[in-house]
């Protein structure tokens, strides 16, 4: 031992090995697609170990993982993931929407649970190769896409609680239809006061598996009461934080102006890519650098805490304009009702389910995603 520090290999895209499936499957009809049930023919796997760093990336047939019963992810929930959509435009061009944001967030998530970090560009390059191979799986119908799920799990064969000595990064792809195939359908939220999604000093700002399992039971309870999703509240003030697995926005009337409010990234909120996109579009509109058709000019964009009391008061005074969730799956999800402490707060929605502020922003976002509106957020996937 000389004390010399030898850097372990990072992900090396040029070492990719491709093993083509011998059993390609037929693509199901786009109309039959249910989110997250159908997977494509191939997947990407990249192993990591603390002794050897990142190993050889392999794109091979989609199929089961062989995991030791002692491995970390099965006992201590050492798992992180991302969700990215690949779109195919009318000319057959395949694009990803702001994938750099997902790569950056995945590295942040990895560090939070002591999983290995990695070269974002190298992983993105490999994901593009996988999508290119699977490009015929992307449905051609409007609003359809290929949902990309990068995941990293701790695979060390040892049930001590420690940074894992082995990990596996894998990426699977699932063709998906539009979230609202028959037009927007506003959802009802249950203002959840018995359970939390996150707390200060916790993991709410990271895309970790651990944020999801505890939410299933509260969601079931909300569903029993007739609500679609939980509205996660925080603290005795009942600050609004997130909606189900989405970020959230409220629109308030302030005199002649509209205020678009979303809770700040205070460590409890997932830094959503769609959230960031909504804020950027709204701010560019306000600054005049990029105007959105039909979006009101007198718009105030606020990242600030907002309580249920303020939402109730806005309802009472007729100043509650809109409330919606934002996320990769649904893009924008309008809300028409919040069950809160035994009463319902009612929220206006337009005839098409959308509202004054959400409609023009949604139109722009979808245009940029599908490629009908050119933008730097749309990143081409080439061979």
Residues that bind a copy of itself (CB under 8 A): 34-37, 39, 43, 62-70, 73-79, 81, 111-114, 149, 151, 153-154, 158-163, 170, 172, 174, 193-196, 199-203, 208-210, 212-217, 219-220, 245
Nearer to a copy of itself, 71 or 320 (CB): 71
Candidates 13, 146, 126; CA nearest to 84 is 146
Beta carbon of residue 148, minimum distance to a copy of itself (angstroms, whole number): 11
Q: How many CB atoms lie within 10 A of CB 361?
A: 26
Nearer to a copy of itself, 109 or 262 (CB): 109
CB 146 within 8 A of CB 176: yes
Beta carbon of residue 339, minimum distance to a copy of itself (angstroms, whole number): 17
Beta carbon of residue 153, minimum distance to a copy of itself (angstroms, whole number): 6
CB 132 within 8 A of CB 381: yes
Nearer to a copy of itself, 51 or 161 (CB): 161
CB 305 within 8 A of CB 263: yes
Nearer to a copy of itself, 36 or 142 (CB): 36
- End-to-end, the C-alpha distance of the chain in Å comes to 44
Strands 343-346, 378-380: pairing kind:
unpaired
Beta carbon of residue 47, minimum distance to a copy of itself (angstroms, whole number): 14
* Tokens 């990803």 found at: 96
CB 59 within 8 A of CB 131: no
Beta carbon of residue 44, minimum distance to a copy of itself (angstroms, whole number): 10
Beta carbon of residue 7, minimum distance to a copy of itself (angstroms, whole number): 20
Nearer to a copy of itself, 223 or 316 (CB): 223
3-class secondary-structure state, position 374: coil
Nearest-5° Cα angle at 114, 112 to 116: 105
For 298, counting Cβ atoms within 10 Å of its Cβ (0-12 exposed, 13-18 middle, 19+ buried), the class is exposed
Nearer to a copy of itself, 9 or 214 (CB): 214
Q: How many CB atoms lie within 10 A of CB 182?
A: 6
Nearer to a copy of itself, 67 or 286 (CB): 67
Beta carbon of residue 118, minimum distance to a copy of itself (angstroms, whole number): 17
φ/ψ region of 331 (left if φ > 0, alpha if ψ in -120 to 50, else beta) reads: left
């Amino acid at each position: 031992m000389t004390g010399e520090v030898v850097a372990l290999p990072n992900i090396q895209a040029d070492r990719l090995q491709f093993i083509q499936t011998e059993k390609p499957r037929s693509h199901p009809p786009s109309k039959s697609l249910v989110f997250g049930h159908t997977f494509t023919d191939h997947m990407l796997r990249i192993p990591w170990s603390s002794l050897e760093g990142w190993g050889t990336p392999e794109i091979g047939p989609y199929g089961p993982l062989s995991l030791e019963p002692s491995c970390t992810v099965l006992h201590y929930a050492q798992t992180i993931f991302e969700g990215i959509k690949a779109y195919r435009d009318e000319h057959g061009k395949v694009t990803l929407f702001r994938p750099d944001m997902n790569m950056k967030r995945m590295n942040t998530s990895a560090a939070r649970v002591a999983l290995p970090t990695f070269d974002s560009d190298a992983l993105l390059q490999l994901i593009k190769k996988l999508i290119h191979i699977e490009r015929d799986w992307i449905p051609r119908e409007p609003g359809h896409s290929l949902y990309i799920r990068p995941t990293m799990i701790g695979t060390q064969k040892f049930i001590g609680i420690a940074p894992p000595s082995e990990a596996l990064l894998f990426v699977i792809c699932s063709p998906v239809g539009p979230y609202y195939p028959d037009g927007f359908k506003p959802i009802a939220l249950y203002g959840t006061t018995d359970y939390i999604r996150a707390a200060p000093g916790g993991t709410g700002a990271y895309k970790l598996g651990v944020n999801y399992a505890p939410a299933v039971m509260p969601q079931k309870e909300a569903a029993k009461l007739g609500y679609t999703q939980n509205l996660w509240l925080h603290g005795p003030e009942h600050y609004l934080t997130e909606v189900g697995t989405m970020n959230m926005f409220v629109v308030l009337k302030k005199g002649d102006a509209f205020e678009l409010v979303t809770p700040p990234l205070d460590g409890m909120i997932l830094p959503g890519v769609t959230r960031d996109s909504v804020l950027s579009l709204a701010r560019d509109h306000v600054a005049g650098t990029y105007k959105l058709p039909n979006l009101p000019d007198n718009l105030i964009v606020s990242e600030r805490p907002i309580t249920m009391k303020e939402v109730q008061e806005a309802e009472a005074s007729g100043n509650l304009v809109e409330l919606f969730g934002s996320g990769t799956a649904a893009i924008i999800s309008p809300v028409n009702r919040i069950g809160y402490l035994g009463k319902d707060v009612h929220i206006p929605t337009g005839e098409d389910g959308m509202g004054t502020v959400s409609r023009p922003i949604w139109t722009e976002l979808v245009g940029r995603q599908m490629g009908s509106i050119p933008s730097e957020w749309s990143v081409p996937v080439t061979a």
